[in-house]
């Protein structure tokens, strides 16, 4: 047993005590009904995860308003009070099992499709996402202010449900991230890019303030950010540092460091193989039965696009976490590519991050912590094949396609 290692020492996020420094990163569940109410599968998923000594669990992204739904079917909603009693049951069970749970709350902005939001896709600007291709209408300043209220109301519902805190999804190109990015935010009003920091922080600042006003100073606010938007010229290392400094000033309770936007999703969750046939079968943007289009995608579009994909390497966002730690004392959570105990231990002991965060391996091995505790050289079974990620578009619940484990069953 390795109980004396720093990795297995407790740490605090705000006033919440985590029994160790491993968290389960937000993972879309696909286990809610069409109105975003959690089903029994969702309950079972968190019941099972919470039996496994994970320091804290972060839920998949839940929409704060139906106008911010993602295109994946089965997404959770935290947009109405009627859902509170359902989440109460989940939180109660997680706490009964001795674990902690934070809800990730989000608005998709331009990263969705009209059919998911029941009409017009709205974003920070009129700029289209190269992947989603839905021409967004720019939100007016009044609409932006309404959404700030919606984020705070959603956080209040999380508090009433018994979640230990919320995580604001300000990464992966979703709405808060869209405001931050100079490549997308071309607004001329107060919600545009700040002169000094060169990123658009007002939306996020007002959301944090409003959540504090509604939920109190002690209700933890975590935040997930992307270190880069994949365009090194428009969001530089300097912008990243400005963002960390801003969050330091805002005194958020933890900062999770991720990477990228959904425009190149395979740089968020990296892997060696791309399940192209499944994408052509299921993905709402690319699915096609047309033999010519399939041929074109496989032989021309994909080989060109592939050059943008970053390689999977162990702990692939760690250098960004290390950089963030130079500018803040707020706990830094690093996600991406943690598969072995030695990488996790080294990251913590070298003080490159305070907490490690894991997504895909927990999909196939919810009991991963027990395994690495018993065997220091244990290597997670996850192959980074990304079938779990691609299948988020399928309408089926998230699971591992190599049959290791079926979540929520």
Query: Which residues bind to ligand FMN, rule: CB under 6 A?
Result: 25-28, 60-61, 104, 169, 171-172, 224, 258, 268-269, 335-338, 358-360, 388-389, 392, 398
DSSP string for residues in 150-203: HHHHHHHHHHHHT-SEEEEEE-BTSHHHHHH-TTT----STTS--TTTSS--HH
Closer CB to ligand FMN, residue 24 or residue 239?
Answer: 24
Closer CB to ligand FMN, residue 193 or residue 347?
Answer: 347
Cα–Cα nearest to 135, from 118, 117, 110: 110
Nearest distance from C-beta of residue 318 to ligand FMN, angstroms = 12
Nearest distance from C-beta of residue 312 to ligand FMN, angstroms = 8
DSSP alpha helix (H) spans, 50-174 = 84-96, 114-117, 141-161
Closer CB to ligand FMN, residue 60 or residue 187?
Answer: 60
Nearest distance from C-beta of residue 189 to ligand FMN, angstroms = 28
Q: Determine the Cα–Cα distance for residues 143 and 148; give it in Å rounded to an integer.
A: 9
Cα–Cα nearest to 64, from 14, 114, 113, 117: 117
Beta bridge partners of 11: 18
Angle separating helix axes 84-96 and 141-161, nearest 10 degrees: 50
Contact 77, 42 (CB under 8 A): no
Nearest distance from C-beta of residue 175 to ligand FMN, angstroms = 13
Token pair belonging to 215: 């939920």
Cα angle, residue 259 at apex, residues 126 and 116 outer, rounded to 5°: 45
Nearest distance from C-beta of residue 280 to ligand FMN, angstroms = 19
Cα–Cα nearest to 354, from 210, 269, 255: 255
Q: Determine the Cα–Cα distance for residues 194 and 190; give it in Å rounded to an integer.
A: 8
Closer CB to ligand FMN, residue 94 or residue 368?
Answer: 368
- Residues 6 or more apart in contact with residue 82 via CB below 8 angstroms: 37
Nearest distance from C-beta of residue 107 to ligand FMN, angstroms = 13
Closer CB to ligand FMN, residue 161 or residue 386?
Answer: 386
Q: Determine the Cα–Cα distance for residues 218 and 2; give it in Å rounded to an integer.
A: 32
Closer CB to ligand FMN, residue 65 or residue 187?
Answer: 65
Nearest distance from C-beta of residue 123 to ligand FMN, angstroms = 18
Nearest distance from C-beta of residue 156 to ligand FMN, angstroms = 21
Closer CB to ligand FMN, residue 193 or residue 254?
Answer: 254
**DSSP 3-state of 119:** coil
DSSP alpha helix (H) spans, 181-317 = 202-215, 237-250, 276-282, 291-296, 302-305
Nearest distance from C-beta of residue 301 to ligand FMN, angstroms = 22
Closer CB to ligand FMN, residue 67 or residue 334?
Answer: 334
Nearest distance from C-beta of residue 126 to ligand FMN, angstroms = 25
Token pair belonging to 127: 């700029």
Tell me 282's DSSP state: H
Closer CB to ligand FMN, residue 145 or residue 404?
Answer: 404
- Kind and range of the H or E run holding 221: strand 221-226
Closer CB to ligand FMN, residue 144 or residue 171?
Answer: 171
Token pair belonging to 293: 């289009």
Give the sign of the dihedral formed by CA 170, CA 174, CA 175, CA 179: positive
């Amino acid at each position: 047993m390795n109980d004396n290692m720093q990795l297995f020492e407790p740490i605090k996020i705000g006033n919440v005590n985590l029994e160790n420094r491993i968290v389960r990163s937000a993972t879309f569940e696909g286990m809610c009904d069409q109105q975003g109410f959690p089903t029994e599968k969702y309950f079972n998923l968190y019941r099972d995860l919470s039996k496994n000594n994970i320091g804290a669990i972060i839920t998949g992204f839940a929409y704060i308003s139906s106008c911010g739904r993602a295109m994946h079917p089965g997404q959770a909603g935290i947009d109405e009070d009627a859902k509170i009693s359902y989440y109460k049951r989940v939180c109660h069970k997680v706490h009964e099992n001795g674990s902690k749970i934070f809800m990730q709350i989000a608005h998709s902005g331009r990263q969705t499709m009209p059919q998911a939001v029941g009409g017009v896709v709205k974003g920070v600007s009129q700029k289209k996402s190269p992947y989603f291709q839905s021409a967004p209408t720019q939100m007016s300043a009044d609409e932006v202010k309404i959404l700030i209220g919606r984020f705070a109301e959603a956080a209040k519902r999380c508090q009433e449900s018994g979640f230990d805190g919320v995580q604001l999804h300000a990464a992966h190109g979703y709405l808060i991230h869209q405001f931050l990015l100079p490549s997308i935010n071309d607004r001329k009003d107060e919600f545009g890019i700040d002169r000094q920091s060169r990123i658009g922080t007002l939306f996020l600042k007002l959301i944090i303030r409003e959540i504090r006003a509604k939920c109190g100073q002690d209700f933890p606010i975590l935040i997930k950010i992307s270190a880069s938007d994949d365009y090194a010229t428009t969001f530089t290392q300097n912008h990243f540092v400005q963002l960390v400094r801003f969050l330091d000033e805002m005194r958020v309770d933890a900062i999770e460091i991720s990477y990228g936007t959904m425009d190149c999703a395979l740089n968020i969750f990296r892997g060696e193989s791309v399940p192209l046939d499944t994408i052509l079968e299921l993905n709402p943007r690319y699915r096609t039965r047309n033999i010519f289009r399939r041929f074109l995608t496989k032989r021309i579009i994909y080989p060109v696009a592939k050059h943008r994909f970053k390689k999977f390497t162990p702990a692939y966002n760690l250098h960004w976490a290390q950089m963030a730690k130079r500018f803040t004392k707020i706990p830094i959570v690093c996600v991406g590519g943690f598969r072995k105990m030695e990488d996790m231990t080294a990251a913590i002991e070298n003080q490159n991050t305070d907490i490690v965060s894991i997504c895909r391996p927990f999909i196939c091995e919810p009991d991963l912590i027990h395994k690495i505790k018993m065997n220091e050289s244990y290597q997670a079974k996850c192959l980074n094949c990304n079938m779990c990620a691609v299948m988020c578009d399928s309408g089926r619940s998230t699971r591992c396609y190599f049959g290791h484990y079926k979540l929520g069953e």
